[in-house]
């Protein structure tokens, strides 16, 4: 179904779609076209799209390396040098949105939008690894935003309820 060999993949009848952020945009356009999650106004939409793309280009690779390296690899097989480098790179990505979230409640502004979904999924992994006692910077505004997400019923049901392992 997905030539990249990765998840997620959406299948609706004979329609198959992959690339997670494309799936999110499709679902919104198809089922909630007038939603404030992804407003039509070009600059508002571009701002949301920009942050969704940045999740893919800046956050996804190092965050996945941290997650796979630590959570999915047995302790005796972990490459701690590579993991430390990936943590530094991931922290740089969170550091990029920290000042943004210090001045507004959500990534693209004062309301929750599609931009918060891909970053929000990774936030649960990042903060869910607190128990490992990693040496990494604190991001108070990102954490406050994560707490706001945790108060949302849909986030509780679909993200918080998932074990990070």
Residue 163 CB neighbours (<10 A): 7
Q: Which of residues 76-105 bind ligand GSH (CB under 6 A)?
A: none
Cβ closest to ligand GSH, residue 27 vs residue 105: 27
Cβ closest to ligand GSH, residue 9 vs residue 141: 9
With contacts defined by CB under 6 A, name the span among 3-11, 29-37, 97-105, 153-161 that binds ligand GSH. 3-11
Per-residue burial over 51-84, b = 16 or more CB atoms within 10 Å of its CB, e = otherwise? bbebbeebbbebbbbbbebbeeeeeeeeeeeebe
Q: Which of 10, 17, 19, 71 binds ligand GSH (CB under 6 A)?
A: 19
Q: Is 20 in the site for ligand GSH (CB under 6 A)?
A: yes
Cβ closest to ligand GSH, residue 3 vs residue 13: 3
Specify the long-range contacts of residues 69-76, CB closer than 8 Å, at least 24 apart: 70/129, 70/132, 70/134, 71/125, 71/129, 71/164, 71/165, 72/165
Q: Is 49 in the site for ligand GSH (CB under 6 A)?
A: no
Q: Which of 14, 39, 54, 56 binds ligand GSH (CB under 6 A)?
A: 56
Work out how close the CB of 7 gets to ligand GSH at its nearest, in angstroms, rounded to a whole number: 4
Helix (H) / strand (E) element for 60: namely helix 60-70
Q: Is 6 in the site for ligand GSH (CB under 6 A)?
A: yes
With contacts defined by CB under 6 A, name the span among 5-13, 31-39, 125-133, 154-162 that binds ligand GSH. 5-13
Distance, CA of 81 to CA of 62 (rounded, Å): 13
What CA–CA distances, in Å, run from 22 to 28, 87, 157? 10, 27, 22
With contacts defined by CB under 6 A, name the span among 1-9, 31-39, 75-83, 131-139 that binds ligand GSH. 1-9
The contact set with ligand GSH (CB under 6 A) reads 6-8, 19-20, 56, 64
């Amino acid at each position: 179904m997905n030539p990249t060999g990765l998840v997620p993949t959406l299948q609706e009848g004979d329609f198959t779609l992959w690339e997670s952020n494309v799936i999110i945009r499709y679902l919104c356009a198809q089922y909630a076209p007038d939603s404030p999650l992804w407003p039509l106004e070009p600059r508002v939409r571009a701002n949301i799209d920009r942050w969704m793309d940045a999740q893919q280009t800046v956050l996804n690779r190092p965050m996945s390396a941290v997650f796979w390296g630590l959570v999915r690899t047995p302790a005796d097989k972990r490459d701690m040098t590579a993991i430390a480098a990936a943590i530094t790179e991931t922290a740089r990505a969170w550091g990029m949105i920290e000042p943004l979230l210090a001045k507004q409640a959500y990534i693209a502004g004062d309301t929750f939008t599609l931009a918060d979904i891909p970053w929000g999924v990774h936030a649960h992994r990042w903060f869910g690894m607190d128990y490992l006692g990693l040496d990494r910077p604190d991001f108070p505004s990102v954490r406050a935003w994560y707490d706001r997400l945790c108060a949302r019923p849909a986030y509780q049901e679909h993200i918080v309820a998932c074990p990070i392992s």
